[in-house]
A and B are shown apart, each in its own frame.
Chain A
């Protein structure tokens, strides 16, 4: 690695696959120099349930990524999801101290500390505080209100918290590879940052990342995340319902879903059949196409409906002119954008990676890992990327690492 370049690692421990990316940032642009991927094991609904199996898969992906990059990472940005993640909103208001009503740094710090101060139930930890824009005397201030004049300053935080044990399991999987976790980033924020534009986020947009085991969503407003959430349901539930409804194994149901599943039922002819394998071998049998479509469509509709209900009054079509952007592996289901559009009452489309991303990384399944890299670079992490921490000893150690 050239001196002055920074290595950034991104890891997503998903329910269906584990992805590790290595990015090299030269101060101007980011190059993805390594990729590792491994079918997931020991992970259920985004939660580590078998430490050994999950560790083996994750470490395999990390090794693959480092080998391809030809470099060794020292830290990574880790995506966090799971049904245990919850959020709440808390806000605070303070009167400006100065006699001339000019807001100073102390006022801002005080109001931020007050807005973040909230006790959590035992065993739960803060994953992220998402600040909403400041208001000075009710007036929205998108940037810092320092040196503005007003009598009252108010701010609110959307705080995401999760179970300590589940968070620790995620961290320990990475630490088992002797890597430091620099930042824990919500999966929805990472992928949402990747598939939405700054303009969309300013006007209001809903990003939904439908993975295999979880569905992460982020509602953006005023340029930043407004509400986030996670459903412990995803593409695997569609497979599961197909398996139950049509009496199939998981693998067979997955095969049918990928071939014939639709988010909106289209077939009218109830007699139309599709074959499981199509080779007429023993065990191959026909299924009514309409049944497959109805099951997948119903579950998809239900998924979006739950998301809308979880958003509650925070969401309305009027405050979301940017529409709905879909990503994640399940977003490849035909008709899913139309389904989302009907549920949310706004236009919906599939999120796409920027055009310069190489073809093998343009699949929606990589949006979270890619988003982690860009999330790190955009400085939204609590510690900005590109400024590795460490003192003199760390510097000397890095020197030896490079020789």
Chain B
């Protein structure tokens, strides 16, 4: 007899009896057990779902796709915005700059966007924005210090004064003492290039800033007489030209020690004071120990 050619009768087994029983046919204990079993199954499914969700979140975080992260639970509105700075900017400036809506919450903030807003003016060199739960936002900034000023024309209007920091960043500047700003020398001989809504940093400004800082520190009376500092020949000849009160022109060598040059300048000017009838017109400090000095022509001739 072959199994392949014969259809075998199949007797039903007790296992074919469905074991499902309607809850109304159950005893009270049976119903309790059923409810407990359903609860356990529900808890198991919820636990599995939580594990899967957590795994997905970890995966998304590792992948760096922050856009997929939900904002999370919305907390209470921000009650305080705190400013910590090493400069002159104040709280109203911060509030204006951040422009937070009234109902903003800490978890609802786009910190990247706020970061860009704070840095946009140029006066702030670095910023850290910190959430302090439940409702305080702290903004910690580091400000640039101006070393010179310049006039620039934006959009065909009147020329506007700008400040220049040591790193060459050009910015409008807010909150500074006007006397301090008025004491800064004007910057000349630079070609400004537009970048976005502002200007590209000025090259070579660090060298000029070193000179100005050294002069301000070591020869403050001299520094106070400086009106214009020109970088026109910095790249080509390595010289920085300073024009002081009374038309005095001083040429500094960018490669040589500024302390020494300032010492020589002081010596020359001291010697020149002994001859008030022959005012000095130009002092060239870029040639090392030899310092050519030009005098004003008083009686149809000039001396060197």
Report Cα–Cα, A171/B25, bound state, in Å: 12
* Residues from 103 to 125 in B contacting A, C-beta threshold 8 Å: none
Q: Are A393 and B27 in contact (CB under 8 A)?
A: no
* Residues from 46 to 62 in B contacting A, C-beta threshold 8 Å: 47-48
In the complex, which residues of chain A have a beta carbon less than 8 angstroms from the beta carbon of B14?
125-127, 162, 167, 171, 184
A111 CB → nearest B CB, Å: 9
Q: Is B158 an interface residue (CB 8 A)?
A: no
Report Cα–Cα, A18/B33, bound state, in Å: 21
Report Cα–Cα, A133/B236, bound state, in Å: 111
Report Cα–Cα, A162/B26, bound state, in Å: 24
In the complex, which residue of chain A has the Cβ closest to the Cβ of B9?
A: A119
In the complex, which residues of chain A have a beta carbon less than 8 angstroms from the beta carbon of B10?
117
Question: Residues 2-33 of chain B: 1 if any A CB is under 8 Å from the residue's CB, otherwise 0?
Answer: 01000011111110110111000111011101
Q: Are A126 and B44 in contact (CB under 8 A)?
A: no
Number of interface residues of B (CB under 8 A): 30
Q: Is A296 an interface residue (CB 8 A)?
A: no
Q: Is B40 an interface residue (CB 8 A)?
A: yes
B181 CB → nearest A CB, Å: 71
In the complex, which residues of chain A have a beta carbon less than 8 angstroms from the beta carbon of B27?
55-56, 59, 176-177
Q: Are A177 and B33 in contact (CB under 8 A)?
A: yes
In the complex, which residues of chain B have a beta carbon less than 8 angstroms from the beta carbon of A162?
14
In the complex, which residue of chain A has the Cβ closest to the Cβ of B39?
A: A400
In the complex, which residue of chain B has the Cβ closest to the Cβ of A393?
A: B44
In the complex, which residues of chain B have a beta carbon less than 8 angstroms from the beta carbon of A180?
19
Q: Is B43 an interface residue (CB 8 A)?
A: yes
Q: Is A279 an interface residue (CB 8 A)?
A: no
Q: Are A181 and B19 in contact (CB under 8 A)?
A: yes
Report Cα–Cα, A116/B10, bound state, in Å: 8
Q: Are B13 and A125 in contact (CB under 8 A)?
A: yes
In the complex, which residues of chain A have a beta carbon less than 8 angstroms from the beta carbon of B31?
178
Q: Are B44 and A94 in contact (CB under 8 A)?
A: no
Q: Are B21 and A172 in contact (CB under 8 A)?
A: yes
Report Cα–Cα, A171/B13, bound state, in Å: 13
Q: Is B37 an interface residue (CB 8 A)?
A: yes
In the complex, which residues of chain B have a beta carbon less than 8 angstroms from the beta carbon of A176?
21, 25-27, 30
- Contacting B17 at CB < 8 Å: which of A72, A114, A171, A399? A171
Report Cα–Cα, A72/B30, bound state, in Å: 12
In the complex, which residues of chain B have a beta carbon less than 8 angstroms from the beta carbon of A175?
19-21, 26, 30
In the complex, which residues of chain A have a beta carbon less than 8 angstroms from the beta carbon of B20?
175
B242 CB → nearest A CB, Å: 81
Q: Are B29 and A59 in contact (CB under 8 A)?
A: yes
In the complex, which residues of chain B have a beta carbon less than 8 angstroms from the beta carbon of A397?
37, 40-41, 44
Question: Residues 162-175 of chain A: 1 if any B CB is under 8 Å from the residue's CB, otherwise 0?
Answer: 10100110011001
B73 CB → nearest A CB, Å: 27
In the complex, which residues of chain A have a beta carbon less than 8 angstroms from the beta carbon of B30?
59, 175-178
Q: Are B8 and A400 in contact (CB under 8 A)?
A: no
Q: Is B197 an interface residue (CB 8 A)?
A: no
Q: Is A118 an interface residue (CB 8 A)?
A: yes
Q: Is B34 an interface residue (CB 8 A)?
A: yes
- Contacting B29 at CB < 8 Å: which of A63, A119, A401? A63
In the complex, which residues of chain A have a beta carbon less than 8 angstroms from the beta carbon of B179?
none
B residues near A (Cβ < 8 Å) are 1, 3, 8-14, 16-17, 19-21, 25-27, 29-31, 33-34, 37, 40-41, 43-45, 47-48
19 A-B pairs whose Cβ atoms sit less than 8 Å apart in the complex: A62-B29, A117-B8, A117-B10, A117-B11, A120-B11, A125-B12, A126-B11, A126-B12, A126-B14, A172-B25, A175-B21, A175-B26, A177-B29, A177-B30, A178-B30, A180-B19, A393-B44, A397-B37, A400-B44
Further pairs besides A72-B33, A110-B3, A127-B14: 17, Cβ < 8 Å: A62-B29, A117-B8, A119-B9, A126-B11, A126-B12, A126-B14, A162-B14, A164-B12, A164-B17, A172-B25, A176-B26, A176-B30, A177-B27, A177-B29, A178-B37, A393-B44, A400-B47
4 closest Cβ pairs, A-B complex: A117-B8, A178-B33, A396-B44, A175-B21
